Copies of this chain bind each other. A is one copy, B any other.
């Protein structure tokens, strides 16, 4: 309900503060920054954490399917997965039935990390400080936005 004193949403404004894109960019970096100290404790970066979320849901995922889930290119995932492998959280092996494909699997350490990670979304949800209604509304709007912007 920002009216009068707050707004001048001119058509085609080049004002930084008017732009949804900047609010989005700033919010995304602020949230990632908030995750950083928590994920440091787990030895993960934020994109690595997202990969682990996928693997904790369903193990033995191809690089292709990881990319589909996270909307990331193999050129981003391949080095990231190599770092996760060096850190002992995943293994990679070519699939026998299709040698082009690589199955990414959790190691014991990768599986074990899940329990320590359970506190993370709770802490972040707390820091976000949105009501359940606001959280749901934000997710809905962001998914709509992503959908529109991706297609079109």
Contacts and interface: CB of A to CB of B under 8 A. Distances in A.
Interface string A27-46: 11111111100000000001
A141 B149 contact: no
A150 interface: yes
Interface stretch (A13-21, A78-86, A88-96, A104-112): A13-21
A84 B10 CA distance: 26
A31 B22 CA distance: 10
Main secondary structure of the interface of A (DSSP, over half): helix
Interface residues of A, number: 64
B20 A146 contact: no
Contacts of A35: 21
A71 B34 CA distance: 14
A129 B141 contact: no
A11 interface: yes
Contacts of A121: 12-14, 19, 21
